[in-house]
Structure 1
Amino acid sequence: MSRFRFAFDRSYRLPALLFGVVPATTWVEVADGQLRVRFGPWSLRTPLANVASATVTGGFAWLRTAGPAHLSLTDRGVTFATNGERAVCVTFRTPVKGIDPTGLIRHPGATVTVADPSALLAALEATP
């Protein structure tokens, strides 16, 4: 099992705390053929076979990423951000539920600001 912690920027801590997003409730896990993301009250889970690609990205605007999970209105992707510097953007073959507990909104991708993006990429690539 590989578990990756989120990298919290100081300016993101208070807005995140207001939504229950703290280091103890945030992580990304690659294990048992699954990708799991926990971001405070939000979660995402999908088989690793559903992961189409993963790339490192970054340079996010604080107003668009600080606080809760964010839904992109352009492509329905979900962003779980605790900093604006670096993240891993994961795309899925089949969209997954995450931000909406009813599952009506499905995400074609998820962005996660883990502390070690390179290690998460390696874990995703190492999975057959």
Structure 2
Amino acid sequence: MTREFEFAFEGRYRLPALAFGITPATAQVVVTAHELLVRFGPWRLRTALANVAGTEVSTGYAFHRTAGPPHLSFTDRGVTFATNSRQGLCIEFVEPVHAIEPAGVLRHPAATVTVADPEALAAALRL
């Protein structure tokens, strides 16, 4: 079983995203029988489904903190892959994962993705 989830692009996010190679064709979340994969332009996050600790739908992101490339939260080291300011899904991990720097030194305890159907993604991650 493989499920693909598209990112929901808000108009004002398209140009900043495009500058980093992030388009509807290069941004998606895939859930397989064993893995969670996030593709966001040139950035990737990959982890086992068993590493997903929980999810929570979140809303109301500030444009200046989310537009363009993935953003790192200095508070909790979480990573945000955002294409809109309306809503997304925060995915918490048992063991932190790498995603935004190639050496894998920086690890993230959670990732937020602004997919078109956050509730369906949450359900797919619970299976």
TM bracket (short chain): over 0.9
Residues 1:8 and 2:20 are matched in the alignment: no
Q: Tell me the distance in 2 between the aligned counterparts of 1:104 and 1:112.
A: 21
Code of the aligned partner of 2:58: T
Q: TM-score, normalised by structure 2?
A: 0.98
Gaps of 5+ in 1: none
Give the TM-score normalised by structure 1.
Answer: 0.97
Note the alpha carbon deviations across 1:25-51, whole angstroms, 9 max, x for none.
Answer: 000010030000000010000000000
Alignment of 1:75-114 (within 5 A): 75-114=76-115
Give, in whole Å, the separation in 2 of the partners of 1:27 and 1:68.
14
1:73-95: CA deviation from partner (whole Å, max 9, x where unpaired): 11110000000101000000000
- Provide the alpha-carbon RMSD of the alignment: 0.5
Extract unaligned runs of 5+ from structure 2.
Answer: none
Runs of 4+ deviating beyond 2 Å: none
Name the SS for the 2:30 alignment partner. strand
SS at match of 1:23: coil
For 1:52, the equivalent position in structure 2 comes to 53
Query: In the aligned structure 2, how far is the partner of 1:81 from the partner of 1:56?
Result: 13
Query: CA offset at residue 122 of structure 1?
Result: 0.9
Deviation, structure 1 residue 125? 1.2
Counterpart residue number, 2:118:
117
Q: Distance in 2 between matches of 1:95 and 1:7?
A: 25
Sequence identity (%)? 60
